[in-house]
Amino acid sequence: MREFDTMAGLPSRGGADSPLDCAITERDRDTMNMVRDAIAENNVLMAYQPVVQTARPDRPAFYEGLIRVLDRSGRIIPARDFIDVIETSEMGRQIDCLSLEIGLRALAEHPEIRLSINMSARSIGYPRWVRTLRHGLAAGPTVAERLILEITESSAMVMPDIVQVFMADLQKQGIAFALDDFGAGYTSFRYLRDFYFDVLKIDGQFIRDIHKNPDNQCLTQALISIARHFEMFTVAEYVETAQDAEFLAEIGIDCMQGYYFGHPSTRPIWTLMDEEARKAG
């Protein structure tokens, strides 16, 4: 569930030198400087959010790792506040590398967890990312089978043929793939057939208040049917109320993720357990 800024991509409200254009340019420059400083000073961390099994909501199927950076004042800045600005730049590749590095370290240190990590298709073949993956997989025999790589629908469509080959190669090593934000973009169903994603995550715009929205109910049921046809597990993103969770369970969603089940936390349960064990020891 890569966190994107809902204001990104709005059309310009004037000429090239309009006050709004100038403000957006200045904002983007400040954002890039903030992320550049955070990377340089290693002020990067991960927040983890549970993705629960519908049949056993007390048991997370896996956790999603969501990258964060610290600004100069020490505030934790979520990805939605910077990812759109840096996505196509070198910093986007660096953030993907850091996300993978932190996630693989967590998998190596905690063999009881399964974890999904976001990446852009633009990072495929990026030397540092490839080296990070290779090094992380060597840390333990079960790391690959507990790693899920999430690629957004829009990112996958940038280079579908390359993504398809990349996925097939890593799936042979035991790594699973999730198609993130499904329904938010313009996926060709031909590509969906060819990709062989293991998990399909339905975009939150269809999930919020689904218990009282007939249009979203119809669309979500159609997406679940498509996923079943292609033998993909389904995850509903942004589940925030008991009513929505109950409706999704009734229509057969496999897993759910959202504030109703847990907020992203930089201190996940396994970290707290480690702290308790150290105190007891």
pLDDT of 13 over the 60 cut: no
19-264: in CATH 3.40.50.10420: no
The pLDDT value recorded for residue 183 is 81
The per-residue DSSP string of the chain comes to: -----TTTTPPPSSSTT-HHHHHHHHHHHHHHHHHHHHHHTT-EEEEEEEEEESS-TTSEEEEEEEEEEE-TT--EEEGGGTHHHHTTSHHHHHHHHHHHHHHHHHHHH-TT--EEEEE-GGGTT-HHHHHHHHHHHTT-TTTGGGEEEEEEHHHHTTSHHHHHHHHHHHHTTT-EEEEEEETSS---HHHHHHH--SEEEEPGGGTTTGGG-HHHHHHHHHHHHHHHHTT-EEEE----SHHHHHHHHHTT-SEEESTTT---BSS-HHHHHHHHHHHH-
pLDDT of 78 over the 80 cut: yes
29-77: pLDDT as tens digits = 999 999 999 999 999 999 999 999 999 999 899 999 999 999 999 999 9
pTM of the model: 0.89
The ranges assigned to domains in the chain are 19-264
Q: What integer is the mean pLDDT of 232-243? A: 97
175-230: pLDDT as tens digits = 999 999 888 765 556 667 778 899 999 999 999 999 999 999 999 999 999 999 99
pLDDT of 2 over the 70 cut: no
